[in-house]
Structure 1
Amino acid sequence: MKAKTVLPAVAMTAVSMVLTLAVVVMWLGTAVPWPVALVVGLGIDGGWLATLAYERRLAAQGDHNRVVTGVGWFFGLVASGVLVAHALTAEASAGAWLAVAWLPIAAKALWLVHGLWERTALTPFALDAIRGIQQEARDEAAVARARLRAEADTEETRLTAVTHSGARVARVQAKTAKTLAGAWSTLETARQGEDTGRALTSVTRCVTPGVTPRWELPVWGPVEPVAALETAPALTDAALDALVDEIRHSETPALSYREMATRFRAAGHSASEVRLRAAWKRVAA
């Protein structure tokens, strides 16, 4: 990557120096001896090359000097000015000389771009680390997208199954309700029939002589709740001991625990197995 920025700058600089030297020699050679014109051209190119070398040295050290940079741009402007002046005074090929007059400025701009690249360039290790981080981020994003798609597909499948199951249950319930309604309708029709009771009575008269039962089929409708049975209060330990002792000695010889527990519960008394066994142990002790 370094060669891609430095080679164009070097080539542009070399072409600009050659053009500047040639133009100075051709332009001033008519007014002064050619060695003097050659010295002037080499002075312009040498000053430009010296400031460029100094700039590159400072850049390699991570430093920057505005004065040196300004001098370098001054020499570049001088070289461009020489080319422009020669093009304006040339009788032939003025357009061609003006077309190449920008090369010194372009060369300075390319060196500026190369300097910016050097200040932002990274080592191969850092570039590999950045590529690895970017690849890892892309992998994680792809895995997350795949996981979300899988979860969405799973949820869609679950909802579809639940919907179908609910539809089947609704159909079964509707069919059952329809069948049950038909059965109750048949039962109600039979219950309200005039000959239903008489037919049932004629069937049972042979097995129950002298008895005329009243037949009533079940009625489908609201029912009244049955009152809850009142529970007897729990026996105290003393009362429980007395009952256990009384039942145990109700026969001779004394009853066993199993026989006593059977008669205790048959008499309608209530007590947990733990309390009953504890009372037995107290009485039998």
Structure 2
Amino acid sequence: MKAKTVLPAVAMTAVSMVLTLAVVVMWLGTAVPWPVALVVGVGIDGGWLATLAYERRLAAQGDHNRVVTAVGWCFGLIATGVLVAHALTAKESAGAWLAVAWLPVAAKALWLVHGLWERTALTPGALGAIRGIQQEARDEAAVARARLRAEAVTEETRLTAVTQAGARVARVQAKTAQTLSRAWSTLETARDGEDTARALTCVTTPVTPGVTPRWDLPVWGPTEPVPALTPGAAPALTDEALDALVDQIRHSEVPALSYRELAARFRAAGHSASEVRLRAAWKRVVA
């Protein structure tokens, strides 16, 4: 990289010095002896070359002098002025001379670029460390992106599984509800049918004479445990005693107790009666 910046500056400086010397000799050779013109040309080029060498020495030491830099730019501007003046006064090839008149200033600019490169140049070890840091940062960024993508895919899979499970539960609940609805409809049809009433009458008339049976749908809800009855724990009640007891328990609270509450309290008190007799007594009391 150093050769890429210093070689163009050296080449352009050499061309500029040659052009300046040639122009001074040709321009002043007609007015003064050519040795004098040669001395003037060499003086301009020598001063420019001396200031350039001093600048390069200071740059090698890591130093900088504004006076030397200003003198160097002055010699460059003088050389450029000589070339421009010659181009403007030349009768032939004025455009060509004017086209190369910028070379001294361009040479100074190239040396400026080379100096900037030297002040910012890094050693191969430093460049390797920088490349390693940059590669490490790229690796960490790639790993982080991969981790985020994996987490996103995992979360998406989990949400899909939960959604599918919820859909299956909803389908099962809907199917169960439909089955229960059909069963309830069947029970309702059986209760309202005439054959059901006749069948119940045939079965219950020998057991509970004088009681009209009634088909009731089951009650869906929480149930209360009924304590087990020990055979012979309580004497069998007559229908009158059972009716009186049912009426007493039913009206023990206001409003009157429901059948379920009455049955629970009846058995909790230790009384004994079949479900058929207890329900028949309930219906007689309510009637």
SS in 2 for 1:170: helix
CA root-mean-square deviation? 2.3
Partner of 2:34: 34
Q: Distance in 2 between matches of 1:34 and 1:227?
A: 137
Partner of 1:161: 161
Q: Distance in 2 between matches of 1:3 and 1:66?
A: 26
- Pairing partner for 1:211 from 200, 204, 207: 207
Partner of 1:151: 151
SS in 1 for 2:50: helix
Q: Distance in 2 between matches of 1:218 and 1:121?
A: 101
TM-score computed with the length of structure 1 as normaliser: 0.73
Q: Distance in 2 between matches of 1:46 and 1:94?
A: 26
SS in 2 for 1:64: coil
Structure 1 residues 224 and 86, CA gap change in structure 2 (3 angstroms): closer
Q: Distance in 2 between matches of 1:228 and 1:85?
A: 128
**1:76 positional shift:** 0.3
**1:110 positional shift:** 0.6
Q: Distance in 2 between matches of 1:36 and 1:195?
A: 148
Amino acid at match of 1:72: G
TM-score computed with the length of structure 2 as normaliser: 0.72
**1:202 positional shift:** 4.0
SS in 1 for 2:217: coil
Corresponding residue pairs, total: 225
Partner of 2:84: 84
**1:195 positional shift:** 2.9
Q: Distance in 2 between matches of 1:220 and 1:2?
A: 101
Structure 1 residues 91 and 228, CA gap change in structure 2 (3 angstroms): farther
Amino acid at match of 1:88: L
**1:191 positional shift:** 2.4
Asked if 2 retains the 8 angstrom alpha-carbon contact of 1:76 and 1:105, the reply is yes
Partner of 2:132: 132
Where does 1:242-281 land on structure 2 (aligned, <5 Å)?
A: none
Partner of 2:171: 171
Structure 1 residues 129 and 219, CA gap change in structure 2 (3 angstroms): same
Q: Distance in 1 between matches of 2:216 and 2:38?
A: 133
Amino acid at match of 1:44: I
Q: Distance in 2 between matches of 1:137 and 1:219?
A: 75
Structure 1 residues 32 and 228, CA gap change in structure 2 (3 angstroms): farther
SS in 2 for 1:30: coil
**1:203 positional shift:** 5.8
Q: Distance in 2 between matches of 1:81 and 1:152?
A: 70
SS in 1 for 2:194: coil
Q: CA offsets, 1:69-128, max 9 Å, x none?
A: 011001001100111111111110001000000000000011111111111111111111
Structure 1 residues 31 and 140, CA gap change in structure 2 (3 angstroms): same
Asked if 2 retains the 8 angstrom alpha-carbon contact of 1:184 and 1:220, the reply is no
SS in 1 for 2:54: helix
Amino acid at match of 2:147: R
**1:186 positional shift:** 0.6
Q: CA offsets, 1:156-196, max 9 Å, x none?
A: 12212221221121111101100111101111221233332
Asked if 2 retains the 8 angstrom alpha-carbon contact of 1:201 and 1:212, the reply is no
Unaligned runs of 5+ in 1: 230-285
Unaligned runs of 5+ in 2: 228-287
